[in-house]
Structure 1
Amino acid sequence: MKVLGAGDNVVDQYIHTGMMYPGGNALNFSVYAKQLGAHAAYMGVFGDDRAARHIQDVLTQLGIDISRCRSHPGENGYAQVNLVDGDRVFVGGNKGGVQHDHPLRLDGDDLQYMKQFELIHSSCYSDLGTAELAKIQSTGIPLSYDFSSDWDPRELEERCPYVFCSLLSCGHLDDSEVQETLRLAHRSGSPLALATMGSRGAVLYDGERFYRQEPHKVVPVDTLGAGDAFFTAFILHYLSGKKEQQDDGTLLPSSLAAAAQFAAQACLCDGAFGHGIAL
């Protein structure tokens, strides 16, 4: 599999430990895909500060292609994480840093580059408007998209027509609300719609039925990135099975099971995937 994460990158600044770790939905996808054996690349926008250099050094060390990334003077994106009543919670950030003022805008060379991949993944934090999603769709390469928990029905209706698989964080919804949300994403254009719900597991909808996956139980070191890990393992397992024509009706359940196992493993290191340095 050859896959591309296109969009956000940040450093997650852990205020309570004085450490920072590479992260971001699109970037995490690329790193987790590489861990799972895929050929992975990342396309995004970097600042020119210490945080940006650290992320670039880590991606180069991991063997992830960053040749189509942009850099601009200024502060790289960061998110601040603190320990509140025993739970790690996001408490601040700079809204993408330089990416906010210099968002990724795809040109002809970018689109030609994208055609070598089998999946492109982006997110709601990537500052990609529907015009950019339409450009990606024009390449013929399927797009997956993480709406996180920052979505409303209008946004799903607007963006799902460009998205092969939608990922939504739905831990704040009850089961009936989760199902209705997934139905809306599917009706709006996404053949697959996947909701992650933290300790309640995940639910997938393919337009015909709902599939439920319980989480694998571990004693977590850090749950940051678990949703990204879950999705990456799910979509790679699913697309690999389709590519090898192994879909006998069990591919979606087995892909969800593989996702739960990988997400549990991702909870056993600090940050999304380690590689922390002092703030």
Structure 2
Amino acid sequence: MKFIAVGDNVVDCYLDQKMYYPGGNAVNVAVNCSRHGASPVAYMGVFGDDPEAEHIKRCLEKENVTWDYSRKTYAASGHPGVNLTPDGDRVFVGGPKDTAQHIFRIRLMPKDLAYIGGFDLCHTSCYSGIEPELPALAAACPVSFDFSVSNTDEYIRTVAPHIRFAFFSGSDLEEKRIEEIIELCHALGTEVVGVTLGSRGASFSRLGRRYSQPIKPAEKVVDTMGAGDSFIAGFLVKYYDNGDMEESLDFAAGCAAETCGFHGGFGYPHPFEE
């Protein structure tokens, strides 16, 4: 699969460790797709002009993810604070709201869309400010979209007509609401809709046929950061490879469990100062 992710990049700052790790949904999914065999893999986004942005770029290069069509702006990289619970669950504790991640969104030019059109699949998310670009993006390339917890009917109606794959985080959702989300996405044209449910696994639907995937236990849960992004990447790579929902979901669950075994979305710690 030739894969591109368009959207956010940040560094997740682990306050107890005094370390930051490269991250952001688009970056995490791109790196994990590369690790699972997609090639070529690219990332397009807006970088800040600080050492944190340079660290993200170096890590992408090490993971065989190009970023040639990205932008650079005079602003700090997004750097949310992170604490870990004793069970390894990551908890965001806020951060500044005047970073590149907050004050800029990417605007796709004709040359960008031509470039994106050379890939088999484009992934983006609710964190990327990409909604005004979705019609043009979908015309250039099939789109995968991570809604995270942005699951209002209004927002779904804005996004779902333009995407092939929809992913939601729904550990707190009741079964009735999960069914409503899946049915609404399908009605708006989305082929595959999935809701990850934390310890309850995941509920997916392809054109109305339902699938249930239990979690796979991790050997040791160190940090849940990026597990959902790893699930998405594993599913997309395997599904593109064979089109088998059950095999793709099983592989994705294994990818998520593996990610829980190390810190950060995909590693690469770097010390930070207060």
* TM-score range normalised by the length of the shorter chain: over 0.9
* SS across alignment from 1:262: helix
Deviation for aligned residue 1:204: 0.4
Output the CA distance in 2 between the equivalents of 1:237 and 1:37.
9
Partner Cα distance (1:85, 1:238) in 2: 34
CA deviation after TM superposition for structure 1 residue 150, in Å: 2.4
**CA deviation map 1:58-111 (0-9, x unaligned):** 111222111001000110112211134654201103358213333100001100
CA distance in 2, matches of 1:83, 1:225: 13
Q: What is the rounded CA distance, in whole Å, between the counterparts of 2:101 and 2:224 in structure 1?
A: 26
In structure 2, distance between residues paired with 1:83 and 1:224: 9
Distance 1:148 1:270 in 2: 21
Bigger drift between 202-211 and 102-111 goes to 202-211
Which structure 1 residue ranges, 5 or more long, are not aligned? Answer: 243-250
Identity %: 38
Partner of 1:239: 240
Q: Where does residue 114 of structure 1 map in the other structure?
A: 116
User: Aligned with 1:272: secondary structure?
Assistant: coil
What is the Cα deviation at residue 193 of structure 1? 0.5
CA contact (8 A) 2:48 2:75 kept: yes
1:278 aligns with 2:261: no
Shifted more, 183-192 versus 113-122: the winner is 183-192
- Write the distance in 1 (CA, Å) between the matches of 2:192 and 2:21: 31
Counterpart residue type for residue 8 of structure 1:
D
Distance 1:104 1:123 in 2: 13
Q: Which residue is 2:262 aligned to?
A: 269
Q: How do 1:64-103 and structure 2 match up within 5 A?
A: 64-84=65-85, 86=87, 87-95=89-97, 97-103=99-105
The amino acid of 1:199's aligned partner reads S
CA contact (8 A) 1:10 1:96 kept: no
CA distance in 2 between counterparts of 1:121 and 1:96 reads 25
Residue of structure 1 in register with 2:21 after alignment: 21
Letter of the 1:258 counterpart = F
Determine if the alignment matches structure 1 residue 192 to structure 2 residue 185.
no
Within a 5 Å distance, the mapping from 1:181-220 to structure 2 comes to 181-218=181-218, 219-220=220-221
Equivalenced residue count is 269
TM-score by length of 1: 0.93
Contact 1:10-1:23 at 8 Å conserved across structures: yes
CA offsets 1:1-50 (integer angstroms, 9 cap, x no match): 11001001110111121111001111111000010011211000000111
Q: Which runs of 5+ in 2 are unaligned?
A: none
Counterpart AA for 1:80: G
